[in-house]
Amino acid sequence: MRKWRCSKPSGSCARTSATARHWTASRPIRWHCCDFAHALRLRALSLVYQPKVATATGRLVGVEALARWKHPVKGVVSPSEFVPLAETTELIHPFTEFVLRSALAQGRDWAGAGTASRWPSTSASTT
């Protein structure tokens, strides 16, 4: 697997190991890598929260935090594109930190307002 990283503030990307497994020649990894790194630095990603409901009772049992990225020029980028990118690059660390910090802050806000008794759930990559 080839690891990618954004090598300079100008947005130039560089390879660091074998080919990224989730990407094909039709997907321009260079702009994704650099733009995603830039979005992380600018905190341009967001989380949305999907309710988790018990089917037997219809009661809310929690929420799941889902990451979203709206590129300023290209529009909404699918998580199926940027999550594998993060998982195959050094960007997984700042991405994971963003998701955890944001979800925990939202959970604190909901708990402080008395509107939630459960914390948002997240998934963590072990890559």
Distance CA 24, CA 77 (A): 16
Question: Does residue 22 register a pLDDT over 50?
Answer: no
Domains in the chain, please, with CATH?
25-112 (3.20.20.450)
- The predicted-structure confidence for 77-92, as pLDDT tens digits, reads as follows 999 889 988 988 889 9
Distances (CA, A) of 91 to 6, 33, 49, 123: 9, 8, 22, 16
| Kind plus residue range of the DSSP H or E element containing 105 | helix 92-112
What is the rounded average pLDDT of the residues 37-57?
93
Distance CA 111, CA 113 (A): 5
Question: Does residue 8 register a pLDDT over 80?
Answer: no
Pair 7, 13: CB distance under 8 Å: yes
Question: Does residue 117 register a pLDDT over 70?
Answer: no
What is the rounded average pLDDT of the residues 34-54?
92
- Which pLDDT does position 23 carry in this prediction? 41
